[in-house]
Amino acid sequence: MKDLSKIAGLGRPWARPTYALAGVVFLAAAAESSWIDQYAQESAAAANACGARQFDDCRTHLTRLHELLDGRADIVYRLAKVEAASGNNKAALDWLTIFSKSGLTFANLAVDPDFAAVRDNQAFRAAVARLDAARQPVTSSKPFVKLPEPDLVAEDIAYDAATRRFFVSSVRHGKIVAIDLQGHAVKGHAVKGHAANGGAADFVPEGQRDIWAMLALRADSKRRTLWATTAAMPEALAFTAAADGRSALLEYDLDSGKLLHRYDVKEPGKHALGDMTIGPAGDVYVSDGSGAVYHLDPARRGLELLVAPGTFRSPQTPALAPDGSRLFVPDYSRGIGILDLKTKSVKLLEHPPELSLAGIDGLYLAGASLIAIRNGTSPPRVIRISLDAGLTRALSWQTVEANWPGLGQPTHGVVTGRDFHFIANSGWDQLGEDGKLKPGAEFSAAEIRVMRIPD
């Protein structure tokens, strides 16, 4: 699920570069002063000090933010600016080199007056060239299916290998669309795509549909179950203030669409069960907008708190390691945490300093690679991260989708054998902060795209 809270600087516009807490282990129980509390404090302090051009204090607070936020690119850029303003040209260029290798393009170095003193430097010109290259269109995917209704605000996608059906959740209409590429099991709207005989229809029978926004989806083909999450949020047409902050995990019969079980979040406060994954034994792992992560044990049939708020600020799509021992949990504000399911400890994924990992919405493990869909960055993009054999460290990465017309705001995907299907042009970017259509905005149909996963 997209993080609905604003992240200052993310996707908008000499301390030693480090891996920013990479390798440091912290317990899942919230500390007396969590990194989230420190983030808020340091952000306010940095804004005051930098605004007053108190460069020493500005540098100190930005350096702390760089550590807390796992080397986030917007902080790297701000560090470059304060070093340039302080006359520390070498340090400024070092930071700019890191920033320019991130592939993020929210800043235009060539016209930023803070870098006037280094504009003729070879390292500066190289940084500008990297950013120019990062603005070029990149794609390795092909059109697969155009969704039938333009205002779905498509969020997640699941796949049932037994029937070769895809399922797409709609935030705006609070429903699940079933797409049959064979045209033999579902009747409804025509689907525009390579499968001309396909069809799409509402998965949940009329009268049984939940009125809240539909978010995460996962199909368990073996147990013939479709898991879904729903949350009362203003982006849904049927939203009511009385239900605001309520959320539940839903279990449907994969063949009939009948609701089998409903698991509401019992903990106090506002919740939005947004993203999830399932394990081979039927375990369900769900992230919550409150910062929590939940687990449903198929034997106990109850939604249990796995990680309390405080470890994550905005957890997104979890990805389960092949041996079932660890969960990769991206935090929209920060980076990717590796949750040890036995000890409940979390360790940030080690990565090169230029790889900024904030803004990840969808995360999927394919062999020794992570596929990350990022819609909290400029540009929105899909990247592929190559990991070491132990799946503990990022070795390299590459952008596989960015900057082409129609990508819009991608959200989630699903691994289907050697292919990866993902949602492009979801419609999220047409909605304002109040959940309503922006003035002058217009919905266009979301699209499922497909790419081959490299060996």
Question: In the prediction, which pLDDT does 9 show?
Answer: 35
Strands 273-278 and 284-288: antiparallel
**Omega before 379 cis (within 30°)?**
yes
Question: In the prediction, which pLDDT does 204 show?
Answer: 86
Question: Among 2.130.10.10, 3.40.30.10, 2.120.10.30, 3.30.365.10, what is the CATH number of 139-452?
Answer: 2.120.10.30
d(CA 203, CA 255): 9
Range list of H helices, 322-422 = none
Question: In the prediction, which pLDDT does 211 show?
Answer: 72
Q: How far is CA 304 from the centre of its chain?
A: 23
10, 108, 330 from 378: Cα distances, Å: 8, 12, 18
Question: In the prediction, which pLDDT does 158 show?
Answer: 98
Tokens (6 digits) for 376: 């909290």
d(CA 383, CA 448): 17
Judging by beta carbons within 10 Å of its beta carbon (0-12, 13-18, 19+), is residue 288 exposed, middle or buried?
buried
Range list of H helices, 290-350 = none
Which residues belong to CATH 2.120.10.30 in the chain?
139-452
d(CA 266, CA 304): 10
The helix (H) or strand (E) run that includes residue 424 is strand 419-424
Question: In the prediction, which pLDDT does 20 show?
Answer: 30
Decide: 236 and 176 in contact? Cβ < 8 Å.
no
Q: Which amino acid is at 277?
A: T
Tokens (6 digits) for 43: 């952000």
Query: What fold is seen in the domain 25-136?
Result: 1.25.40
Backbone φ and ψ for 303, nearest 5 degrees, come out as -85, 115
DSSP characters over 142-188? EEEEE-S-TT--EEEEEEETTTTEEEEEETTTTEEEEEESSSSS--S
List the 225-231 sheet strands across, edge first: 213-220, 225-231, 247-253, 259-264
Summarised one tens digit per residue, pLDDT across range 11-21 is 322 222 222 33
List the 413-416 sheet strands across, edge first: 192-193, 142-146, 447-452, 419-424, 413-416
Contacts of residue 421, Cβ cutoff 8 Å, sequence gap at least 6? 144, 157, 159, 166, 413, 414, 448, 449, 450
Question: In the prediction, which pLDDT does 111 show?
Answer: 93
Decide: 182 and 164 in contact? Cβ < 8 Å.
yes
74, 373, 398, 414 from 422: Cα distances, Å: 27, 9, 17, 6
Spans of the chain, pLDDT less than 70: 1-32, 182-199, 206-210
Which residues belong to CATH 1.25.40 in the chain?
25-136
pTM of the model: 0.89
Tokens (6 digits) for 334: 């920060």
Backbone φ and ψ for 147, nearest 5 degrees, come out as -75, 150
